[in-house]
Amino acid sequence: MSENVKEILEWFYCIVIALVLALLFRYFIATPTIVQQRSMYPTLKHDERLILDRTFRITRKKPQIGDIVTFEAPSKDYEKWNADQSNPIAIYDNEPTNVFSKFVYYCLETTKKSYIKRVIALEGDHVKIENNTVYVNGIPQDEKYLSDDVVTESSVFYDFIVPEGYFFAMGDNRTKSTDCRNIGCIPFEKLEGIVRFRFWPFSEFGKID
């Protein structure tokens, strides 16, 4: 084998290894993301850049109430007529089936739609939404992150217990948010990242509460 060929192969191996390490870091440690929705306003604004913590995929640590998270968007929304308060779970029935499409969907994430919301309740919690108030286990929530004019209503899922292995999340901009009130509770396995801090714009750089 000529020296030129050996050098080309060495570069090729280095590039492949670097790409694999980058994908592993992005999947298991952290990745940047761009806010493309207005459902978390005023906490998050359109086009802001965030860092998602993904170490939970290694530690198996679950998000906490109040955390802002991203998760895979379900394939369907519920309507009032087909929402079962005793089974408030999100529907996922359009996931890829072959190896290549799974790689693109789960690793590259170029074909995946995601939502960004705030965790309101965890498995076993009783959630009730009435009179513009969210109750968790009978306790009215003091949601200081909401704008004063925000109204919290739901005619789909409004009185239920979060199933085991799931969490309930809503956007801070309640009237402009498609969230668990309409799509059901999200399985932890569909969690994609926990928002830790904002790096753009620089004027807003820092940890996000």
Q: Active-site residue numbers?
A: 39, 117
Q: Tokens 């955390």 map to which residue?
A: 67
Question: What values do phi and psi take at 24, rounded to 5?
Answer: -65, -40
Q: Tokens 């949601």 map to which residue?
A: 143
- Residue 132: which region, alpha, beta or left (left: phi > 0; alpha: psi -120 to 50)? left
Q: What share of the chain is helix, strand, coil (3-state, %, to 5)?
A: 25, 30, 45
Three-class secondary structure assignment of 111-157: CCCEEEEEEEEECCCEEEEECCEEEECCEECCCCCCCCCCCCCCCCC
Q: Tokens 């080309």 map to which residue?
A: 8
